[in-house]
Amino acid sequence: MAAGSDPVNDQFPSEDGGYQSYKAAGKLAGKKALIAGDDSGIGRAIAIPYALEGVDSAIVFTSQEEKDAKDTKALVEKKGKTSHLILEDLKSVQTCKSVV
């Protein structure tokens, strides 16, 4: 990827080594997802395809991840789904239960 270019979030590697557009099957339409640990990596990698499949999400993040969480929220909403941000540190069992 060229310096300064934005990553593509709705294309995935193809068998020929290139990229192909993601084709949603709609099997998750109307579902909800709780995504913990959003940053620009795994959390976003889950949130975008879920949104393409029709899933609304809640993303739990720490204060260090706030910018990335907001960016992911915007990308999810650009795909037509809702995303709620929850600022919490999931180190304690009680906090995990509270978030759920």
Which pair of tokens denotes residue 53? 């499949």
| Domains present along the chain, CATH in parentheses | 26-99 (3.40.50.720)
The proportion of the chain whose per-residue pLDDT surpasses 70, expressed as a percent, equals: 85
> How far apart, in whole angstroms, are the C-alpha atoms of residue 83 and residue 1?
27
**pLDDT single digits (tens) 1-29:** 444 445 556 666 777 877 777 778 888 99
pLDDT at 15: 76
pTM reported for the whole predicted model? 0.78
Per-residue model confidence (pLDDT) at position 14:
72
83-86: which pairs have CB atoms within 8 A and are 24 or more residues apart? 83/47, 83/51, 83/56, 83/57, 83/58, 83/59, 84/57, 84/58, 84/59, 85/58, 85/59, 85/61, 86/58, 86/59, 86/60, 86/61
